[in-house]
Amino acid sequence: MKTLIVYAHPNEESLNFELLKNVEKTLENSKKEFKTIDLHKDGFNPVLIFNKDKKRRDLHLDSETESYRELVKWADSIIFIYPLWWNDMPAILKGFIDRVFVLNFAYESSSKFPKGLLTTKKSLIINTMDSPEFYSKYILLDDHFRNFKRSILKFCGFKKVERFSFYSVKDSSKESIEKNISKMIKTVKDFVK
């Protein structure tokens, strides 16, 4: 199984960066082929532009994002790693979705209902947040995950979407984080079997 990691955090001293390194090591130790997109390191421009010269229907031909579309095509599975800010993905990741998961690449709309084109893919979403689990699940109703899963990935045809969340990060002990990293590693191993 070929896995693409899409990583969206600007700080190499963050928990998210530690998670990225653990996921890469897990895939390496499992002898899985993988590639990583580090959006900040790439200097990815998240701003979607379409106008009279650059038509939205032609974004699947955009040379600036072609290499990213090729990586998405190459992968059987995509692991997204990012923090939740304002109960949502960082703007750079949303811009990646806006600019890469475009019409005539990730979906088509030739009939009344759009049709996802990435039907052989599956995804694991790994995210961190300062919110407690109860607050995220029962007050915010997991809006961030439900939106990413249903309105983006399932819309584009992904057959399976899972997640692993780190809750209450700022209040977590080192031991608690290490325990959750061990659980995450097991989740990644099971995901890429």
CATH number at 31 reads 3.40.50.360
pLDDT of residue 135: 86
pLDDT along the chain (193 residues), means of 10: 97 97 98 98 95 87 96 98 96 98 93 90 97 86 93 97 96 96 98 94
pLDDT of residue 140: 83
Ranges of H-type helices in the chain:
15-29, 39-42, 66-74, 91-100, 133-134, 143-146, 174-191
pLDDT of residue 84: 96
User: How many distinct structural domains can be found in the chain?
Assistant: 1
Beta bridge partners of 36: 5
Range(s) of the domain holding residue 67: 2-191
d(CA 35, CA 5): 6
Tell me which H or E stretch contains 36. strand 33-38
CB atoms inside a 10 Å sphere around CB 55: 10
Q: Calculate the average pLDDT of the chain.
A: 95
pTM to 2 decimal places: 0.95
